[in-house]
Amino acid sequence: MPAYDLSDRLVVGVASSALFDLTESDAYFRAHGEAAYARYQDDNVDSPLDPGPAFPFIQRLLSLNDLRPGDPVVEVIILSRNDSSTGLRVMRSVEHHGLTVTRAFFTQGGAPLDYIPALDMSLFLTQNRDDVLTAVRAGYPAGHVRPTTAAYDESDRSLRIAFDFDAVLATDESERIFQAEGIDSFVANEVAKRDVAHAPGLLKPLVEDLNRIQRLEQERQAADPAYEPRLRIALVTARAAPAHERAVQSLRSWGVTVNDAFFLGGIEKARVLEVMRPHLFFDDQDGHLTGAVDHVAGVHVPYGVANEALTLTGELALARAADAVVTEP
C-alpha cells in the first residue's frame, strides 16, 4: 500500500486539551498523580469528553472534506502528551462526537512539537502556553487557544476564521516601529513602504491552504449554483488608513485573499467579533482576546516584540518544570 500523502491537504495538529474539555481530568492528575490518573481514564474510557474551545472549529473544518470525497482536503491529527492507553478515552470521544479523525500521536509526557514540521502542519492548537512559546520560537505555526464561553448554532455549517495582521499574518517589522517610536512613525513608515510587501508571518501558509479550499468551493458553486460556500476568512486589524494599504498590497503580493477586512484604527476588536462570531480569531496580543471570550475562541500567537517579555517568562517556567510530568499539551 502506498504511503498516505499529506501534500495538497491542510494539515492541522490539535492537542486533546484544545479539542476537548480536560479541566476535570487535569485537576484529577494534579491531585492524585500519574498512576491514579491512568486508572481514572481507564475507569471513564466510555464517558465522552465534552467539547473544548477548538471543537467547533475542528468539527466544521473536517466537514469541508465533502468537497473532495475519498481524497480529504483537511487532515486533523491529535498530538497528545498522554500515552496510548490513557489516550483511549480521547479517541473514543472523537468517535462519539462523529469527528473523522483517525490519526493521533501519543508521546507519554514528551512535547510532540517536532512533528509539526515533519507532518507539514499549517497550524498547531493547544492550551499549553509553554508548548506554544517553544513552537513559535522554533518558527512553527502554533497558537494558544484561550478558554471561551462562546456558543455556536449547530445548524449553521459555515466556518469563519479571523486573523490579525501584524505579527500574525506578517512579521512584527512594523509593530516594532510602533512600540519603539509611536503611531506617527508607524504610519509614516507604512506610507513610505506602501508598495513594499511585508515578509510573511507564521500563519500566512495557513491562509494559503484555506484559500485552496475556497477555490474548491468556487468550483462546486460553478457546477451547482445552489451551493453556498461555507468557509469565510476575515482580517481584523488595528490598522487604519493610510496604513491599511500596505497590508492589502502585502496580501496581494503573497497571493492570498480574505473575504472581509476590518481596519479598526483603535476601535475595540470585540465589537466586530461579537457580530462576526468567528470560530477562531488569531491575535498576537492577548489583551485583544480577553474582551472577546463570550464571542469567539481566541488564539494567542505569542510572536514578535509584543511578546518578548512573555517569552522570557515562558523560558523560566520551562526551566523550572524540566523534570515535571505534564498530562496534556
CATH number at 131 reads: 3.40.50
Answer yes or no: are the C-beta atoms of 165 and 185 closer than 8 Å: no
Residues 174, 121, single domain; the answer is: no
Q: Specify if 45 maps to a domain.
A: yes
Q: Specify if 292 maps to a domain.
A: yes
Q: Specify if 108 maps to a domain.
A: yes
Q: Specify if 122 maps to a domain.
A: yes
Q: Specify if 1 maps to a domain.
A: no
User: What is the predicted pLDDT for the residue at 108?
Assistant: 84
Structurally, how many domains does the chain consist of?
A: 2
User: What is the predicted pLDDT for the residue at 318?
Assistant: 39
Containing structural domain, residue 30: 10-149+312-320
Mean pLDDT by 10-residue block, N- to C-terminus, for the chain (329 residues)?
89 96 88 87 92 96 97 96 86 96 90 90 95 94 93 90 97 94 94 96 98 98 97 97 97 98 94 95 92 89 89 43 35
**484544545: which residue's cell?**
18
**pTM for this predicted structure:** 0.91
User: What is the predicted pLDDT for the residue at 273?
Assistant: 94
What is the grid cell recorded at 268? 475595540
The residues carrying an active-site annotation are: 164
Q: Check which CATH number belongs to the domain holding 251 and give it.
A: 3.40.50.1000
The residue length of the chain stands at 329
- Cβ burial of 217 (10 Å; 0-12, 13-18, 19+) is middle
Picking from 204, 202, 268, the residue whose alpha carbon sits closest to that of residue 236 is 268
Q: Looking at this protein, which amino acid is placed at residue 54? A: A
Between 23-32 and 34-43, two packed helices, what is the crossing angle to 10 degrees? 140
User: What is the predicted pLDDT for the residue at 299?
Assistant: 97
